[in-house]
Amino acid sequence: MALVRLIEYPQASPEVRSVYDDIMKTRGVDWINNFWKALANDPKELARIWANVKRVMAPGALDPLVKEMIYVAVSATNGCEYCTHSHTAAARKKGMSDAMLMELLAVVGLANETNRLANGLRVEVDPQFK
Amino acid sequence: MALVRLIEYPQASPEVRSVYDDIMKTRGVDWINNFWKALANDPKELARIWANVKRVMAPGALDPLVKEMIYVAVSATNGCEYCTHSHTAAARKKGMSDAMLMELLAVVGLANETNRLANGLRVEVDPQFK
Amino acid sequence: MALVRLIEYPQASPEVRSVYDDIMKTRGVDWINNFWKALANDPKELARIWANVKRVMAPGALDPLVKEMIYVAVSATNGCEYCTHSHTAAARKKGMSDAMLMELLAVVGLANETNRLANGLRVEVDPQFK
Amino acid sequence: MALVRLIEYPQASPEVRSVYDDIMKTRGVDWINNFWKALANDPKELARIWANVKRVMAPGALDPLVKEMIYVAVSATNGCEYCTHSHTAAARKKGMSDAMLMELLAVVGLANETNRLANGLRVEVDPQFK
Amino acid sequence: MALVRLIEYPQASPEVRSVYDDIMKTRGVDWINNFWKALANDPKELARIWANVKRVMAPGALDPLVKEMIYVAVSATNGCEYCTHSHTAAARKKGMSDAMLMELLAVVGLANETNRLANGLRVEVDPQFK
Amino acid sequence: MALVRLIEYPQASPEVRSVYDDIMKTRGVDWINNFWKALANDPKELARIWANVKRVMAPGALDPLVKEMIYVAVSATNGCEYCTHSHTAAARKKGMSDAMLMELLAVVGLANETNRLANGLRVEVDPQFK
């Protein structure tokens, strides 16, 4: 159970509904996931986070599927259950196959391994990399 | 200063040199970076990690640049200085521009932010994501 | 299910009961939460951790509510489910409102974001900060 | 050395200078720290992060010093060198004494300890906390 | 529910069955745990990870119980629920008592605490340690 | 440079000197490392942490070298530079060879890898482990 109540659409203020409407329109879905319903306890915070997600995840120098997979990589590294589920679902919607997910996680696992080898051995950065 | 001595090529055993040779050949470079020189204190461990890196980072369901960028995303999340430098250099060699790096880090930053919002609010996973 | 059995008051040794009694008295509650019941498998460890919590969380240069909110911030950053629940409850008891919780988590989220931007860009510390 | 070049004021575009000016004015300082100079490689990202910092760190339900100390708590937990230096400096400017810093870190240390005890023992959340 | 389906023995390909057989034989058990059933969605990845576990966890300069306890220490630090359960079970099978588990976690907790004190105070490494 | 000044023995109060003396006596050394000199800014905190270290790291159900290696494993996982240096030095003093260090880090690396595979695939804990 979340630490704050979830604000459902019918009970939401016009300010919150307006963000909910934009989320559904932007994503082409007809429901709001719990993350936003929890954030809606602070309508300004809800609007702030949604504006950031919309801006950062928009197409740019990287394509949206790559961005979504990077989101999954970070969420798996941090062990965030909610985010791993929601962003894996989002990445699949954008075209990630099971084979791509398995390969993505293989890289995540390896990076977490060698990060600790480098940190544990306190390897100094080669001047060539700087 | 690393916690173990760095094994330079001239002092390396044939077993270690053989891995060093394969690293240089595979990457098209003529030098060995410190990470491998530290691992070489245990030649079997050096061979094991290199075999894993070669296998996981090879082209597959994901392209090598995307994989390298995922490596950077994990390394930045974990705050591994050595890995951030070495894998950013590798990603640049494979085509990552400054604009792509900035956008990659924007996603990494945002994911780390929303991971904590979801964890801090203890949001339950929506059944639709499962 | 916890990895060790939970030691309930009626089954507890006098040494454990004495710590349980002090926890209930200090906090003004009439029950013991699972964290302590698990630690009680090692009565000396139970006593050690409780003594530390009592000492560190006592009023001092910082007020107890601020300390409790810092505890929540760390727990959310680490993704500790148990600790996020228990310390959010404790902070609420000391006066934290929903608005304060939302604002606290906004800071936690932002700090986690900019921590990774600084780490990912490997920004050097300005001499003015040292 | 940072992974991107630092954009100094004289070389900055009008868009970047406008953010730099607002940072200096808001904080009452006459210099820009390296974090912003690195972000300025992507002017839109610079503007986005600054707008978020300005909004989240403004007085609200929590006072600015408490917010700054929460920032330090998260940065110390994540081991971010840059952020620990810059936000400790900011907290001191807002009134944090050495005694307050020591006490803040005592809470951070303790929370990191008990987070792992709860996670390692896999303690279930008491129904009373939900 | 896992993000990929679990591959049960009867439905597994000969390549996957061969790894499953080796896991059961090596560990002296007659069932396969979910971790491997999830990895089996990519048979090469399954084989790669199993080969690494078999190699790294084999007796060497450290005894197998010590290695298993180190695995538990890392899993508790990272808050990995699955790994904490599975490796605690494995360590118990190799002889870890409740008293040893409690003491192991006391060290893990303390290390996580002093790691943050050192990071938060930005203590410089003494030349004597280098 | 540390965020607080380092308290040297000649400038220390009797309360601090008494802890310094006990550290040197207990460890059989004639110098104090920077960690304690930083903590000494709060003499009560210095005494508290030292008492905990002394108690937790004493021989018990686990031998002191195993405990010290667990400390290294946690420090490498968290990327704490100071702690990795100081506890590797301590473990070496208690008998850890280079071969043992390399093997310890191999386990740490592997655990960090499989922790993320389990978290990324959201594998459910097998009932047999509970």
Q: Mean pLDDT, chain E, as a whole number?
A: 97
B106/chain A closest Cα distance in angstroms:
7
- C-beta separation of C68 from C91 below 8 A: yes
pLDDT band, very low/low/confident/very high, at A87 (cuts 50, 70, 90): very high
At D57-85, the pLDDT tens digits run 999 999 999 999 999 999 999 999 999 99
CA angle E82, A83, C72 (to 5 degrees): 80
CB pair distance less than 8 Å for E112 and F78: yes
Q: For chain C, 130 residues long, give each residue's pLDDT as a single digit of tens.
A: 899 999 999 999 999 999 999 999 999 999 999 999 999 999 999 999 999 999 999 999 999 999 999 999 999 999 999 999 999 999 999 999 999 999 999 999 999 999 999 999 999 999 999 8
Instruction: Report the C-alpha gap between B95 and B83 in whole angstroms.
Output: 18
Provide, rounded to the nearest whole percent, the portion of chain A with pLDDT above 70.
100
Residue E44: φ, ψ to 5°: -70, -35
Q: Is the pLDDT of residue D87 over 90?
A: yes
Q: pTM here?
A: 0.98
Provide, rounded to the nearest whole percent, the portion of chain B with pLDDT above 90.
98
- CB atoms inside a 10 Å sphere around CB D55: 14
Instruction: Report the C-alpha gap between C23 and C1 in whole angstroms.
Output: 23
CB pair distance less than 8 Å for D119 and E79: yes
Query: What pLDDT is recorded for position D57?
Result: 98
At F63-87, the pLDDT tens digits run 999 999 999 999 999 999 999 999 9
Q: What is the DSSP string of E26-57?
A: HHT-SS--HHHHHHTTSHHHHHHHHHHHHHHT
CB pair distance less than 8 Å for D116 and E105: yes
Query: Which DSSP state fits B42?
Result: S
- Nearest-by-Cβ selection for B62 from A52, A104, A112: A104
Instruction: Report the C-alpha gap between A9 and A13 in whole angstroms.
Output: 8
Instruction: Report the C-alpha gap between B65 and B71 in whole angstroms.
Output: 10
At D29-43, the pLDDT tens digits run 999 999 999 999 999
Sign of CA dihedral F79, F38, D99, D82: negative
Preferred mutation among C75, C77, C84, C116 to probe B, highest tally of B CBs within 10 A: C116
Provide, rounded to the nearest whole percent, the portion of chain A with pLDDT above 90.
98
Task: Quote the tokens at residue B126.
Answer: 């929506």
Residues of D whose CB is below 8 A from A1: 130
Instruction: Report the C-alpha gap between A32 and E91 in whole angstroms.
Output: 43
Instruction: Report the C-alpha gap between C15 and C27 in whole angstroms.
Output: 19
At B66-124, the pLDDT tens digits run 999 999 999 999 999 999 999 999 999 999 999 999 999 999 999 999 999 999 999 99
CB pair distance less than 8 Å for E103 and C79: no
Instruction: Report the C-alpha gap between A98 and C82 in whole angstroms.
Output: 32
A39/chain C closest Cα distance in angstroms:
8
Instruction: Report the C-alpha gap between F8 and E126 in whole angstroms.
Output: 13
- C-beta separation of C83 from D114 below 8 A: yes
CB pair distance less than 8 Å for B81 and C122: yes
- C-beta separation of E3 from E31 below 8 A: no
